[in-house]
Structure 1
Amino acid sequence: MRIPKDATLLRIFVGERARYDGKPLFEAIVLEARQSNLAGATVLRGPLGFGHSSRLQSAKVLALSEDLPVVIEIVDAPDKIDAFLPILDVMMRDTGLITLERIQVLRYGPSPSA
């Protein structure tokens, strides 16, 4: 699979407790991205954050949160990301934050000479 040099970064912010069809939302999004043949997805768990409620979510031992921030990053061609957005909208319902950035892909996978 190839990604064009000029690509799009889709970044999705959700809480760890958010669910979709009985599984964690972040997991469901990654599985759906794979099903949609997107180039790849990475899930990052945040040790500290807050969202629209302004309630602080922390991984500190004394204030252990059960709803830490999770970020899913997906990179692919702009048209493939655009096609995924309506699916994502249904999955996210009224939770989270979605951002898009234009990016340049410098490398994806093994080099052609490998």
Structure 2
Amino acid sequence: MKLAGAALRLTVFVGDTDTWHHKPLYHEIVHRAHAAGLAGASVFRGVEGYGASNHIHTTRILSLSEDLPVAIVIVDAAERIRAFLPQLDELISEGLVILDEVEVIRYVGRTGSGSTRDAER
């Protein structure tokens, strides 16, 4: 699918210890997004943060936390993202979901950058 121009970015904030049927919640969200045919998804682990509990979670060694923040970012056309939202209702009991209108600029098929991904294409 080619995605360029106006799109919607869905960002889901959860804890890295949140689970769905004994698997990481972020894993289930990414796999459902993939199964739904959404253009792309990435998971980012935070090094420090706090949420509704107002308790700061951090990777600092003296106060090591087991519940670091995780952000799952999914980008696609607005109607496809909105159609995916009911799945999040089923999965998320505690977290935050943000929708942002974005403009996508997609780079594909570039040569000469030296990346191994270019060699694989």
Q: TM-score range by the shorter chain?
A: over 0.9
Superposed structure 1 runs of 4+ greater than 3 Å apart: 108-111
Q: For 2:44, what is the secondary structure of its paired residue?
A: strand
Q: TM-score, normalised by structure 1?
A: 0.92
The RMSD of aligned alpha carbons is: 1.4
Tell whether the 8 Å contact from 2:12 to 2:96 is kept in structure 1 after alignment. Answer: yes
Q: Which residue of 1 aligns with 2:113?
A: none
Tell whether the 8 Å contact from 1:3 to 1:108 is kept in structure 2 after alignment. Answer: no
Tell which structure's C-alpha radius of gyration is larger: 2
Alignment of 1:84-103 (within 5 A): 84-92=84-92, 94-103=93-102
Gaps of 5+ in 1: none
Q: TM-score, normalised by structure 2?
A: 0.87
Gaps of 5+ in 2: 111-120
Q: How many residues align?
A: 111
Q: Which residue of 2 aligns with 1:15?
A: 15
Give per-residue Cα distances to partners, 1:17-68, cap 9 Å, x unaligned: 1001210000110011001000110000000000011000000011110000
Q: Which residue of 1 aligns with 2:74?
A: 74
Once the two structures are TM-superposed, the CA of residue 109 in structure 1 deviates from its matched residue by: 3.7
Q: Percent identity?
A: 43
2-structure distance, mates of 1:18, 1:2: 32
